[in-house]
Amino acid sequence: MTHHTKSFLRREEYKALAQLSIDGEILDVGGSKKSGYHELIKGNHTITTGNINESYGCDVIFDAQKTWPFKDESLNGVLFINLLEHLYDYNRAISEANRVLKSGSIVVGVVPFMFNVHGSPNDHFRYTKSTLEKLFIEHGFKGVVVKELGTGAFSVIYHCLLGFVRFDWLATPLIALFSGIDRLILRLKPDNKMSAQEMPLGYYFEARK
């Protein structure tokens, strides 16, 4: 499932989101009505989009680093898709997610790691797997699962060359080639330092309240 993107990271996050199922009310923080991943999420739900920038096209305008305009324990899911790296006060956002979620509900997100600086309007942080696990546990979440997206050093090289990949049709064979090399290296030397564990393009995470 490529969703017509040349980005290997986005292809991987779309695959992860396609495995997700949530029923009820979902808030996509930092998202827009044009987000290409909403239809991937299974379940009987409605998705409300919230963004600080009204030009993105969203349902509610608010700053994720301040108090959210939603009642305590009113939502069944919160999405942080490629958002946390843009928040300087990420702790406030995670705390607000915990406040508005019902007991047993889920927060789901994606963050880049081996990725270029991309301001929207700013780009502040990169998170490791252990940091994400600790952050959500410290904010009262449980069952935290963090998965690497991207397969290693050659997938990172592909991303660095992404600006030269001018056509969508060219991306698929190139991704297959570069990620295939990463898999081969991992098979030949399982403890190598260029694997997904050491050099992921990003992370997908889930946590329960």
pLDDT in tens, 14-66: 999 999 999 999 999 999 988 889 999 999 999 999 999 888 889 999 999 99
Structure tokens at 4: 């017509």
Q: Tell me the H-state helices in 4-160.
A: 8-17, 90-100, 129-138, 153-160
Q: Which helix (H) or strand (E) holds 169?
A: helix 168-188
For tokens 């987000």, the residue is 35
> Which CATH architecture fits 8-151+197-208?
3-Layer(aba) Sandwich (3.40)
Most distant CA pair in the chain, distance = 53
Tell me the pTM.
0.94
User: What is the CB neighbour count within 10 angstroms for residue 115?
Assistant: 20
- Tell which wins on pLDDT, 93 or 34: 93
Res. 2: pLDDT tops 60: no
The CA-based angle 38-39-42, given to 5 degrees, is 100
